[in-house]
Structure 1
Amino acid sequence: MVKYLIVVLFIISSNAIALEQVDLDKMSRQLDVKYTLLEANATCPAHVAQCYLSELALTLPYDLSDKSWVIYFSQLMPIIHGSNQQFDITHINGDLHKISPSESFTGFIAGKAHKLRFYTQNSQITRSEFMPNYLLSDAKHALAAKVIVSTLLGEDATTGLETQSYLTPFTTLSQLRTSKSDKTPWMGPRYHFENSHKPLETSSPKGIIPKPSAMQLTSDKKVDLSGGIRLVLNGITRESVSAALERMSTVGVNERESGVLLDISLRKTSGARDEAYTLLVTEAGIYITANTSSGAFYALQSLMGLLDGKSLLVSEVKIKDSPHYEFRGLHIDAARNFRSKQFVLDTIKHMASYKLNRLHLHLADDEGWRLEIDGLPELTEVGGYRCFDLLEQNCLLPQLGAGNDKGSSVNGYYSRQDYIDILRYADKHHITVIPSLDMPGHSRAAIVSMEARYRRLTALGKYEAAQKYRLVDTDDKTVYSSIQHYNDNTLNVCLPQTYAFIDKVLDGVQGLHRQAGVPLNTYHIGADETAGAWLKSPVCKTLLKTYGSLNGYFIERVSQMVTEKGVQVAAWSDGLGDVRVHNMPTNVQSNVWGTLAEGGHVVSHEHMNRKWQVVISNPDVTYFDFPYTSHPKERGNHWATRAVDTRKVFEFMPDNLPAHAEVWRNSRYHHYEANDIQSGLNQGVMATGIQAHLWSEMIRTDKQAEYMLYPRLLAFAERAWHKPKWALEYKKGRIYSASSEYFDKSAQLEREADWQRFISILGYKELPKLAKEGVFYRIPHVAIGLNKNGETTFFTPIPGFDIEIKTAQGWQPAHGGIPLVHILAVRAKRGNRVGRTQLMNSP
């Protein structure tokens, strides 16, 4: 009896004692977490239209009855129902959730898994959407939180790609398709064989990317640049072409008195675009004439494009060239997950090589503020980092699986000098930087940071100063949820301090441009709002009666502020849909991002007809945070499209947006219709340009960012600079569908020939150049099947790669003598780079 009482007292006392740090550390090292996506299209709980079903298995190798631990983890969509009675799951904010033992928790038994099943809103179907770095803490948050080791990311030693050991394999179509009507194929090797075009060329043709307006080989002779160049400048400064000359020097084309004459002259040609140029390569010398220094710069880039990367011989040619679009942009999201300064500089260099000229830098969002602003240190000291600090005194919440390491690559910011350096480097490469600090929605980093400022100054007794830039309205009782499920991420557009803060930020950004000697030409205000915000804000009552849209009021007011500073205003098209056009400046840039498969051409045409500067930004083809192919292991989002491969980007016809209904499908792999009868473009109206986008919610490293950009960015550059003859001309008032057949067989054949030219230059010439510069581009997938003779056939959609197959005997070079049934997996490789392994037993 005494022994029994001792045991009972021991159990009671042990349960009463909370975890100590050593216990928490041990648990974080040894707790095994396994996440399984059971079904992407589940039968949902009542009142939920779409959801997916998942299971978390938690296993400890030792017994633990303690209940004082909690786990925090990122789940992009809110969990709406859980079925395990031993745990409670709570949505904190954004994507952050908490798992805690319930009153019914019976403890861990060594080696036995606790399984939690739960339903989550909407859908997740690519492995990159399932976030890492689960955090273990004690319930009172008295101990130092630790990342659960089993949820850390790894890297495949062969491919260099990210690995997620906490995530069980995806093997079925039920994990890929988001609804009963979803027909999205699992794009494995056999699918690619049946739906891809085999490269025909075995070497690079005489051409460059992007394709010039006109190029003529004038002889079969070549000019040898290995002896250097002798530069002669007429009416142009050396500084304006210095970046191109430096690029030439990196491959061994240096300036020497005995070198080949390189004559560059500015000569205005009436009626030609500013960036127009001619390039003539002869035995006597190389002659460039251009309208502007930018044109001369691009002529030198074309000269570099003529090099094959193996020698310094250049064919004798004559090129006459000018861009199709004035605006040829790339958007980089450095806010969600930070991109290093070096990545930005490297990207600028590559953009310039392929004649892109606008860099839209997304510098602030809910998950991070990335630009140092003089006088507002908290913006970057707090807003530049995510870590485990639930009170957000020193950092933002650890959204997007950020973990607890402030030194992680997802954290950081650009100092004022960093930004000045970026501006000057971009200007040297003839690229205009368009900064964006998203408001009034997507502003949580700013709001939290200014609360930290408020607390600091209040503690010092500086109450008036503390209020000056405070972005919280304590009287606003509105309950809302943003698209990313935040309940506190929207600036109150009725508060005077909101506009004081924006004015302070604008002055800070414009000041940095002045210091750099690079004018701020365009500022992107974002213009996203959160539906339902401000409805119960006392200070908004009057404005709500006066204005139909408070978001419209905000955009109009901020646009006026930007214009008064001598800067063009830019915004996303959905926000601009709320404004009264007559209250807007005449010089407005609209990034139109409506999905083409859902009538996205309508808004584009409407904004073009307003004579706004429309930058085509349709996510179906310009969002490079979507996967190359529909496969769970291909990184990316999925809401607008399931696959954006290099060919799709190449096939884009941005002058005729509705026409894509003939050749593309929607996100559920269905044909769709684009009706342009009521939304036609006015005569002579067209877009100012097009922009590619790299959003970063699922891109945690610069290496991953390069993988997502290249080689798609080269196809994008092709479309931004060159309008092909096969592109279907816009005709007002048409209805396009899979059966309309405006894009006829002749155009299809011409497009195929142009594609073969492009991929040959890409595969044999440009990708090897990028490889020499250390760019981690995507190795193409492999297509495999049987030819007409029943022989096993392999190819990669982009040529120049070796192919390996895996049989029961291991990996070996591919050859047609191996029966298809014996092949377990395939992969492509080049040099020391190996692509993703593709299993043959795809569903």
Structure 2
Amino acid sequence: MRKQIKYSGIALASWLMMAMAGGAVALAAPEAKTTAGQGVLAGYANGAQISLRWELVRTVFTPEAPGGGTQARLILSNLGQRPLPARGWTLYFNVMDGVATGPLDGNLLLEQVAGNLYCIRPAPGFAGVPAGQTLSIAYYHPDLVIKLAKAPAGPYLVYDAAPDVGQAIADYQLLPVTRPEQLDKGSSGAKPVVTAQDIYRRNAKADWMPAAALPPVFPTPQHLQTSGGKLQLVALPKVVAPVALKTEAAIARSLFPASLPAAGPNAPTLRLSVGAVAGSTSPEAYTLTIKNGIDIVGNSAAGVAYGLQSLRDLLPLPGVASIELPEVTISDAPRFEYRGFQLDVGRNFHTKQTVFKLLDLMARYKLNKFHFHLTEDEGWRLEIAGLPELTSIGAVRGHSAKPGVRMQPAYGSGPDPLDASGSGYYTRAEYIEILCYAAARHIEVIPEIEMPGHARAAVKSMEARYHRLKAEGKSDAARYLLNDLADKSVYKSAQLYNDHVINPGLESSFTFIDHVITQVAGMYKEAGVPLHTIHVGGDELPGGAWEQSPASRTVMQKKKLESTAELWDYFYDRVDAILRKHCLYASGWEELAARGTKVHGEHKLIPNPHFTQRGFSAYVWNNTEGAEDFAYRLANAGYDVVLAPVTKMYMDMAYNANPDEPGVNWGDYVELDTVYDFIPLDYLKNANPPLVGKDSLTDYGKRRVRGLEATLFTETVRTPERIDYLIMPRLLAMAERSWAPDPDWATEPDAGKAAALHRSAWSGFVNTLSQRVLPRLDLEHAGVDYRIAPPGLLLDGGRVLVNHVLPGIAMRYTSDGSEPNTSSKPVNGPISDKGQIKVAAFDRNGRVGAVSHIDNH
């Protein structure tokens, strides 16, 4: 579900030779005392007095590293009145994909602590940094640093004299990456930066369309017919609904502005009811009829709720003087029963209020599955009765000199255990509240408990519990232990951990899993919300895990298992039995349903025959590097499949290759049209470059595809605003693909005709977003800070041509090099002004997007 890191074979000596000249500044400083206590630190620089800058120096290509590496440096300035001493301190930071460790120029040493936590400390001969002096620390990344997300994050300083005190370095900045030697991609095949001209050419694939020509409802309904008439609303409609639809009735009343007079005897009626929707067996189907009144009928309450969201779309944008609705008949149902969004709160925590906002957004666009990624290597985010260590230790990140106190800093969370992104969890009561909030919006919450990999927070929490109870003389200290303390297996995960895997050789592992599943199921029961499945992870178990574990070897001998692959099957046999005991089925990442093998000497994933008849639901993320058709092969083999391809549906992927564009890039870059162009049941059709020799879906396999999921992993996501930026408006394209039937361009065999149909449909989609969908969010003050993309700019005979991915969005410009604001000149056509032209787009509330610039001389 994430990535496999590929390290080049560059030797430490090689990169040291390539390091920039100069290295660390060696200056005299007093020696730090070694007595405990913070008072001894008064004579030395603290984190608040240190300025730190990171610079990407240049990319490097050598025979040993043909894919490229990156020279970088940290520039440490001592701004205080006290020295950074010659010894007795350590500078900690996180680096997402790791760096080369070892001695550095200037008598410094760079070491890996664990996972993505690294540190620099002085070696013998280092002379310190006096007040007012600067230290340049050259080091090396063994891969290309294309995104700033790969730079060090969350730096903090610790003195040996006070080993439990982490001093955050708040004055930390990443220097711009703009020079040719910084942006050089060599022959690596990495995509170049995107220019304003590139953006213009991409935006030119769509045309502006008048509002009257746009589909009035989003996502596109199956059938919509208008008569040309209008229903004028001069008062609030009278809502008539049975008690069973009281929640939907409340939503209906909330759709209309409070400025309308109260419903009188002649006010139109808005009727809500559950009944048979002709021509559809989907429980989410509905009909919406507007004539003399408004009638919404659903096959279930969910169908009624979706009809209300379509009614919202038909209302004029907020702020108009009068309200009239078109006379219309809509008959609609979703294409897929699974229309999901996944939020990872393990890597960075997000509050209950943020979850509520996301659930509201999902309901608005008819998404119905909230995949809640609750546990990870870096954090356990759900209170479990009887296992307080999962949250007292596993949900807290921060610096500690002693093991078993809390989880280490990760993804820039820093030393403070009160950091709002690094630490946090949902209490039992809060989780039940989330379940009820989602159920009221007809959204199923699918909890994910990661296993056997991606489980470091659980492993370390239960290990700390074991040591505490053992010290207390408790006989059942190992009852929930997850790791074999005698395990000598050598492995490293994609996130650089070697101590994060649940061990299937321990009976206590299954006792733990059973207890957690029992507690989670109890929360759903208390909430009165059905639980059908638990997502049990399964992804990215690193090679080598379990191989040198005495406990696992004992089980393999006892069960006559020949390999760790068979031990994997044993593990999930046990997990499946626990789930079935609670009347649940197993969901998991594709690895849950996969078996690695070799064909003609080449590694290949095949459907695991062991589980094909179990009813497992496989979430398929990997559509890269030979596995492009793996989702289809799993479905053809009998697995239920949710499509979540990394190159199409991963919302944590950056939009483009520009260094400062937020997000990661290990899978691909995902623009708005990347998501829109996805053809769920035939995505090999428009693959670029074309794919040969891949399996397509059989008719049987098509019936196994449950639907789509957009996923957001949060390595780089520490705020609600960043969530909005990364998922919106891309989530809207996913909503369209999961609800509406294939557009005509997706099924047209003639390439020329398909291209013309695509241009028309894409134009309709982006104009609908720019003129209806996003302005409604703005004007309703929904608090969604969606990405406002930079405009496209192109020089044309002394003029600057301007366009935007959202045609018709307001744009403003300057020609004197200043940043555009709401008072700047509006873009009403080509710009003839001379100078440095800067252009930005604005939403309906004046929020500004990224700025594009071009010189027009």
Partner of 1:591: 619
In the superposition, relative to structure 1, how do residues 343 and 608 fare at CA in structure 2: closer, same or farther (>3 Å)? same
Who is 1:674 aligned against? 691
- 1:322 to 2:349 alignment: no
- Normalised by the length of structure 2, the TM-score is 0.87
Q: SS state of the match for residue 34, structure 1? A: strand
Relative to 1, partners in 2 of residues 1:47 and 1:317: Cα closer, same or farther, differing over 3 Å?
Answer: closer
Q: Quote the residue 1:659 is aligned against.
A: 685
Give the TM-score, by structure 1 length. 0.88
1:73 and 2:100 aligned: no
Equivalent positions of 1:96-135 (< 5 A) are 96-135=117-156
Rounded Cα–Cα distance in structure 2 between residues aligned with 1:710 and 1:389: 38
Question: Partner residue of 2:738?
Answer: 720
The answer to whether the 8 Å contact 1:559/1:585 transfers is: no
Q: Please give the alpha-carbon distance, in whole angstroms, between the structure 1 residues aligned to 2:41 and 2:233.
A: 66
Tell whether the 8 Å contact from 1:21 to 1:144 is kept in structure 2 after alignment: no
Cα 1:459–1:287 change in 2 (3 A) is: same
Contact 1:439 1:526 in 2 (8 A): yes
Secondary structure of the 2:374 match is: strand
> Do the aligned partners of 2:48 and 2:171 also contact (CA within 8 Å) in 1?
yes
State the 1:267 CA deviation.
2.5
1:509 aligns with 2:520: yes
CA shift for structure 1 position 584: 5.6
Per-residue deviation at 1:714? 1.2
Q: What is aligned with 1:519?
A: 530
Note the C-alpha offset of 1:30.
2.1
Cα-to-partner distance string for 1:637-685 (whole Å, 9 max, x where unaligned): 101112x122221121111121131xx4xxxxxxx33224555534562
**Residue identity matched to 2:191:** T
State the distance in 2 between where 1:65 and 1:708 align: 42
Q: Match of 1:181?
A: 188
Cα deviation digits, residues 555-581 of structure 1 (max 9, x gap): 232122212311121011123203853
Determine if the alignment matches structure 1 residue 439 to structure 2 residue 451: yes
1:760-814 alpha-carbon deviations (Å, 9 max, x no partner): 2211222122221111111121011135x65322122113432233433634325
The CA distance in 2 between the partners of 1:554 and 1:48, in whole Å, is 40
One-letter amino acid matched to 2:149: S
Shift of 1:367: 0.6
Q: In the alignment, is residue 196 of structure 1 matched against residue 195 of structure 2?
A: no
Residue in 1 that maps onto 2:661: 634
Other-structure match for 1:170: 177
Distance in 1 (alpha carbons) for counterparts of 2:139 and 2:732 = 42
Deviation of residue 454 (structure 1)? Answer: 2.0
Deviation at 1:264, TM superposition (A): 2.4
CA contact (8 A) 2:245 2:273 kept: no
Two-structure CA RMSD over aligned residues (Å)? 2.7
CA distance in 1, matches of 2:691, 2:233: 51
Q: Are the aligned partners of 1:781 and 1:796 in contact in 2 as well (CA < 8 Å)?
A: yes
Q: Does 1:781 align with 2:790?
A: yes
Q: 1:752 aligns with which of 737, 756, 759?
A: 759
The residue identity in structure 1 corresponding to 2:54 is Y
Contact 1:602/1:676, CA 8 A, preserved across alignment: no
SS in 2 for 1:323: coil
Aligned to 1:156: none
Taking the aligned partners of 2:485 and 2:344, their CA distance within structure 1 comes to: 31
Confirm or deny: 8 A CA contact 1:36 1:55 kept in the other structure.
yes
Identity in percent: 30
Aligned with 2:46 (options 12, 15, 27): 27
The 3-state SS of whatever aligns with 2:573 is helix
Q: Which moved more, 1:605-614 or 1:221-230?
A: 221-230
User: What amino acid is the match of 2:415?
Assistant: N
CA distance change for structure 1 residues 483 and 682 in 2, over 3 Å: closer, same or farther?
Answer: same
Q: Given that residues 658 and 676 in structure 1 are in contact (C-alpha distance below 8 angstroms), is that contact kept between their aligned partners in structure 2?
A: no
Q: 1:261–1:834: structure 2 CA closer, same or farther, 3 Å change rule?
A: same
Q: Cα distance, 1:255 vs. partner?
A: 7.7
CA distance in 1, matches of 2:117, 2:855: 36
Candidates 688, 703, 706, aligned match of 2:706: 688
| Counterpart contact for 2:745–2:757, Cα < 8 Å | no
One-letter code aligned to 2:811: I
Q: 1:190-212 CA distances to partner (integer Å, 9 max, x unpaired)?
A: 11112222541254635121010
Equivalent position amino acid for 1:623 in 2:
Y
Residues 168 and 415, structure 2, Cα contact 8 Å, conserved in 1:
yes
> What is the 5 A alignment of 1:308-707?
308-310=316-318, 311=320, 312-410=323-421, 411-464=423-476, 466-528=477-539, 529-544=541-556, 546-548=561-563, 549=565, 550-578=567-595, 580-583=608-611, 586-595=614-623, 597-642=624-669, 644-661=670-687, 664=688, 672-678=689-695, 680-683=697-700, 685-686=702-703, 687-707=705-725
Query: 1:826: Cα distance to partner?
Result: 2.5
Q: Does structure 2 retain, via aligned residues, the 8 Å contact 1:794–1:814?
A: no
Who is 2:232 aligned against?
Answer: 224
The residue identity in structure 2 corresponding to 1:327 is: Y
Q: Is the 8 A contact 2:149 2:716 kept in 1?
A: yes
Q: What amino acid is aligned across from residue 373 of structure 2 in structure 1?
A: H
Provide the residue aligned with 1:39 in structure 2: 58
Comparing 47-56 with 717-726, which one deviates more in the overlay?
A: 47-56
Q: How many angstroms does 1:511 deviate by?
A: 0.3
Cα distance in 1 for residues equivalent to 2:275 and 2:207: 41
Q: Structure 1: which 5+ residue stretches go unaligned?
A: 1-10, 152-165, 665-671, 731-741
8 Å contact from structure 1 (residues 199, 759) kept in 2: no
> Which of residues 826, 832, 835 in structure 1 aligns to 2:839?
826
Say if 2:70 is the partner of 1:59: no
**8 A Cα contact 1:34 1:57, kept in partner:** yes
Note closer, same or farther for the CA distance 1:460–1:683 as it changes in structure 2 (3 Å cut). closer
Pick closer, same or farther for the CA change 1:608–1:823 going to 2, 3 Å. same
Unaligned runs of 5+ in 2: 1-27, 596-606
Query: How far off is 1:725 after superposition?
Result: 2.9
Cα distance in 2 for residues equivalent to 1:285 and 1:245 = 13
CA distance in 2, matches of 1:113, 1:170: 21
Runs of 4+ residues deviating >6 angstroms: 250-255
Per mean C-alpha deviation after superposition, the further-off stretch among 472-481 and 614-623 is 472-481
Aligned to 2:298: 290
**Partners of 2:696 and 2:740 in 1: CA distance:** 26
In the TM superposition, what is the alpha-carbon distance from 1:83 to its structure 2 partner?
A: 4.0
Please give the residue correspondences for 1:138-157 in structure 2 after superposition, counting only pairs within 5 Å: 138-142=159-163, 144-151=165-172
String of CA shifts for 1:383-419, please: whole Å, max 9, x gaps: 1111111424432000111112333221211110111
| Shift in alpha-carbon separation, 1:684–1:137, aligned structure 2, 3 A | closer
One-letter amino acid of the structure 1 residue matched with residue 76 of structure 2: L
1:765 equivalent in structure 2: 772
Deviates most, 137-146 or 417-426: 137-146
Contact 1:335 / 1:370 at 8 angstroms: preserved in 2? yes
Distance in 2 of aligned mates of 1:195 and 1:800: 16
Distance 1:828 1:12 in 2: 52
CA distance in 1, matches of 2:373, 2:709: 13
Q: Secondary structure of 1:364's partner?
A: coil
Displacement of 1:619 in angstroms is 0.6
- Give the length in aligned residue pairs: 790
Specify the alignment match of 1:7 in structure 2. Answer: none
Whether the 8 Å contact between 1:24 and 1:138 is mirrored in structure 2 is: no
Could you give the per-residue CA deviations for residues 260-303 of structure 1, whole angstroms, max 9, x where no partner exists? Answer: 21122323235532212111111x11122222221111111100
Q: For residues 252 and 384 of structure 1, what CA distance do their matches in structure 2 show? A: 46
